[in-house]
Structures are given as structure tokens and as C-alpha cells.
Amino acid sequence: EELSVALEQIRAATASAASLTRQLLTFSRTKPREVEDVDLGARMMRMVPMFSRVLMKRHELVPVAVGATPVSVDAGLLEQAVLNLILNARDSMPEGGVIELSTGHVSLPKDDPRLPENRDPGRYAFLAVVDSGAGIATEHLEQIFTPFFTTKEGEQGTGLGLAMVYGFA
């Protein structure tokens, strides 16, 4: 039994090191993105089984896709960004909860506060990861996209997940 515990610790440490290395490489990426046309909703629905494997039994991933959602994106980075969001959602709900992964379209008029300054009004694709957790403490909101900032205890977090998502977006 001691051997199986040691092997599990080695496996967990290896997975953690691989994840950190992948995040560091993604975060520091200088090569051009490999953009391709994909259906965002269909791509996310195909990824649900893989995303679900990182959840614990007390968490439920609920996928919601509304029609075809064509986008031009680096699909590998998209999947990594969504995985980071799902992991953050999972970690924010230690007692369990629901994580909703949704895609669709939204029309943004010019006076909509969600419309970035450098974008024209119109119809946009969206992807949302929403969890039933308590949310991020107000005092942390200004720091959540800062590389290496984490609210996780000890060595549980690298502080690169949301920084990578922000860089990707």
C-alpha cells in the first residue's frame, strides 16, 4: 500500500510539473498563433468528456451550446484556456457545485458596456464558464490576471491560469 501511495504522489507531481511547464510555455509564447476556423459550440461539446475528467465527483459540468458558433481561433490555446477556467471553477468550490460551459451569440450595440473600445457593434460569439461558487473576493479582482498571483494555499496554484486566459482572450 505504501508503494501505491508513493506512486500516486509521483504521478501527481509529474502531472503538476507538466501542467506548469505547459502554462509557462503558453504564457511566454512568441510564435504566431495557429488560427483555424472552428465551430466553438461543437468544439466545446466534443471536449466535455475530457473537461469532466478533471472534476471531482462532487462537481457537475453542464454543457450548453446554442447553434453553430463559427470563430477563427487557435484551437489548442482555446482548449487550454477553457480547461484553466474549469479548473479554477472546480478549485473555488471545494464542497462541490455546478460548472456551466456555454457558447452562443450575443448582439452588442455601440453603447453596451461589454463592447471593448476597439470593437464595432455587432454580433459576436461568446464562451462562458460559470460556477455556483461564492465568487472572487473583491480585494483580489484587480490582481486576478497578474502572472503568478494566486489565492490558493501552499503549492496548489501557479498563478498562471487566469493570466494565460487573459493573454489568450
**49-68: per-residue pLDDT in tens?**
988 888 888 999 999 877 78
Amino acid at site 148:
F
Q: What percent of the chain has pLDDT over 70?
A: 75
Half-sphere exposure of residue 93: CA atoms within 13 angstroms, side-chain side: 22
Give the mean pLDDT of 19-26: 60
Instruction: Please give the pLDDT value at position 27.
Output: 54
88 class by beta-carbon count within 10 Å (0-12 exposed, 13-18 middle, 19+ buried): buried
- Asked whether residue 38 carries a pLDDT value surpassing 60, the answer given is yes
**102-125: per-residue pLDDT in tens?**
999 899 999 999 888 888 999 999
Instruction: Please give the pLDDT value at position 6.
Output: 80
